[in-house]
Amino acid sequence: MITFSEQQLKVPKLARPVYLVTAGQSKFDRGFPDKRTEELCIDALTQAAELLNMTPAELKSYIHTCYYGHFADHFGDQLLGEAVIHDRLGLDPLGNIGVKTGGATGGSTLWEAMKTVASGYSDCVLAMGWERMDEVPTDEGNFLISCAADKDWESPLGHIYTGYYAVMAQKYWQVFGKEEESFRRTLAEIAVKHRGYARFNPYAQGPMKITVEDVLKSPVVAYPLRALDCCLMSVGAACAIICDEDTALKLTRNTKNKPLRIWVAAGSHTLRPADRRDMAIPLLPNETADQYKDLEERFPGGGRYPGFTGFLGARMAAWYGYRMAGITDPTEDLDVIELHDAFTISDVQTYEDIGIRPYGEGRTYVESGDCYHTNPHTGKPGKLPSNLSGGLIGCMHAVGATGIMQTFEIATHLWGRWAEVHGDEKIWKSFNRKKPSDWTDLQVKGANRALAISHAGVGSHVTATILMDPDHLLKADA
Amino acid sequence: MSMFGQVYVKDNQYKIKGDFHHLTPNQPIRDADGWKLLGVTNPRDMTYIHSYGGEAVFFESLSQGKLMATRCDNPKCEAQGTIYQPFRIHCMDCLRKCTVIDMTDLAQKTAKIHTFMVCERSGAFSILDKPIKFINVEFDGVATILMGYLSLGDPKIGMSVVPIFKRTSPTYTILDLSWVPSGTPEKRLPEGFSY
């Protein structure tokens, strides 16, 4: 049984308020034979400056410290890639450091940036993330990704990360999904939704207009997961600028970007799922112990927590993050979210880990229509739209950039700039992509609070990034 | 004549002989339309030298038909008596060195599949046949759940399995441990494996 001490459960408190003022990103694609990584990073920083009506040089003059999220050095065959990018961005001799936490690298980079501003060390920090996954063929890429598992105990088993991850999907599928055809269709619905929303995102790598039947007919990768259930392998960059209040007000004066309060919290769990020990479920503010008393009865095999069906790292990131920001019920308090949909089934697992639905009931978030921009059953706005960017399945998974892309996406809703950032014909043309004739404005109207979950592999690292309009805080002293 | 890189240890120092890398020339990457230079290939073929440290006994034992685990025996630790498989050198709570125990018999009697996945793909350098039947094996009285692969039959949650060991031409990796359904006749085991 794993237990926590009082000290370990301290709710983090920032020494001063921290703000996200702007962000930017490059085009995302499977490969960029014609661009070096620094070109993509410069694209991202240039967009961040433009959203503040500034030149990159003007924005750079405010930056004091830099955090660079880049996971897989071995893909690019370049150690100290952070130093290369830092030099090419012309930010020497400022202090900088690299961050590597697998799929959560983007979120972890924001976590570090936030703490640096909160502590007073810096008033303005650049958080930049990227990934270069096109420098080896796909099977060698799978080998390199498998190096993120335990090299002695897991990686030799096929050198395929999907295999280590999907055993958890299988357990969830059988225990909580009860192997029901209706649940399999719900998973497919997620793939249709995310690839469909990606059609309205010019940055997105994998837009597709598909049906549930298309997903169910796609090739099996690891049963019950099929090719269209899985996220993309991507190249691209994303960045965000994190500031104290004075700098935030200066940078956003006379712009459409309102400074957004930001909190980032982090959790972790074993690199090997094999090492997970049994424990009591850490409860979120909208849960009670009583509601899980009969979990094993309702879902035979589901009584072991987190077992192979939940992500303790995600649960703890939400546990700390919600308390930091005053969130008592994520579905009621938040307006839009971006989740780490590495696979359709892990998207469902995350609904439960972060308290959008109780354990065992994640599928109802999709089946109710709550997760859509427009609820398909009622025609009214979805209660809590998720992954309007297209997520990792439809938009991208350029690992080091992913958590920052998600945060940029939710920020555009809070700024009321989603349509401008995603609908501008010039952007579509510059990426050599065709804006669909049925392009739809997915702006969540009146959005004031949002969440992004950044997640590594089998859940070794997870962050929860919360953004709020400062006029709509839930807790005065947050 | 080239020779695979080999390593032994003398006086706690690595001694190496043979070829640890192979030279392959770079090749230009050109745009098929216009033949403009876009980049270059960078071939790499390297051999890593890796220490198993305190886990070496686990991997050596597989080649001898034994499944070793560890147990925290620290009377001051809340986790005293906890058995770990995967083998952990130190207890994850008190960080004291665990006791190495032989759990072959326990595995033969109580191993069953906690979850599984049949994977149709593999990464480069994989030597397992596809599809790979990943299984996670639970044991009575063991706190954790070991990942492995099923060599025969179709996996099901709750299915009883037994360990088999590659005692002939072992690889000294986790691949020397595999699993088969309980009751599988020895003559059906894959080449090199035995109970």
pLDDT at A477: 85
Assess contact for B146 and B103: CB atoms under 8 A: no
Residue at B158 is within a domain: yes
Asked if pLDDT for residue A251 goes beyond 90, the answer is yes
On chain A, the residues whose CB falls within 8 A of the CB of B136 are 167, 273-274, 308
On chain B, the residues whose CB falls within 8 A of the CB of A156 are 173-175
CATH code for the domain of B140: 2.40.50.140
Distance from CA of A302 to the nearest CA of B (A): 11
C-beta atoms of A158 and B174 within 8 A: no
Asked if pLDDT for residue A5 goes beyond 60, the answer is yes
C-beta atoms of A170 and B115 within 8 A: yes
Give the tens place of pLDDT for each residue, A414-423: 999 999 999 9
Give the tens place of pLDDT for each residue, A202-228: 999 999 999 999 999 999 888 888 999
Residue at B10 is within a domain: no
Residue at B150 is within a domain: yes
Q: What are phi and psi of A170, to 5 degrees?
A: -60, -40
Asked if pLDDT for residue B1 goes beyond 60, the answer is no
Residue at B18 is within a domain: no
Give the tens place of pLDDT for each residue, B31-88: 999 999 999 998 888 889 999 999 999 999 999 999 999 999 999 999 999 999 999 9
Residue at B122 is within a domain: yes
Give the DSSP H/E element, type plus range, for residue A145: helix A138-146
Residues 124-143 of A with CB under 8 A from B: 137, 139-143
Residue of B nearest to A32 (CA): B38
Assess contact for A54 and A250: CB atoms under 8 A: no
pLDDT at A360: 95
Residue at B23 is within a domain: no
Asked if pLDDT for residue B21 goes beyond 90, the answer is no
Q: Strands A449-455 and A336-338: what pairing?
A: parallel
Residue at B21 is within a domain: no
**Structural domain of residue B155, as residue ranges?**
53-194
Rg (CA), chain A: 21
Residue at B12 is within a domain: no
Q: Give the CATH H-level superfamily of domain A14-158+232-339+395-469.
A: Thiolase/Chalcone synthase (3.40.47.10)
**Every domain of chain A and the residues it spans:** 14-158+232-339+395-469
Give the tens place of pLDDT for each residue, A130-184: 999 888 888 888 899 999 999 999 999 999 988 888 898 899 999 999 999 999 9
On chain B, the residues whose CB falls within 8 A of the CB of A160 are 119, 121-123, 126, 132
How many beta-carbon pairs under 8 angstroms link A with B?
A: 137
B28 contacts: CB under 8 Å, gap ≥ 6: B37, B39, B40
Q: Find the Cα–Cα–Cα–Cα dihedral A81, A85, A87, A91, rounded to 10°.
A: -130
Quick one: average pLDDT of A364-389?
Answer: 98
C-beta atoms of B124 and A143 within 8 A: yes
As for how many domains chain B has, the answer is 1
